Amino acid sequence: MESRNVHLGLYIDKLNPFKLFVALYSSWLVILMVYNLPPGMCIRLNFIFLSTIIPDPNSLSQNIDVCLRLMINELKQFWSSKVLTYDVLTKQNF
Mean pLDDT over 23-47 rounds to 82
pLDDT band at 6 (very low <50, low <70, confident <90, very high): confident
Closest CA to 44 of 54, 33, 55, 53: 33
Residue 29's pLDDT is 84
pLDDT score of 13 more than 70? yes
Domain boundaries, the chain: 8-93
Mean pLDDT on 58-67: 64
pLDDT band with cut points at 50, 70 and 90 for residue 61? low
Sign of CA dihedral 52, 57, 26, 69: negative
Using CA atoms, how far residue 40 sits from 33, 43, 51, 86, 88, in Å, is: 12, 6, 21, 21, 17
pTM beyond 0.85, yes or no: no
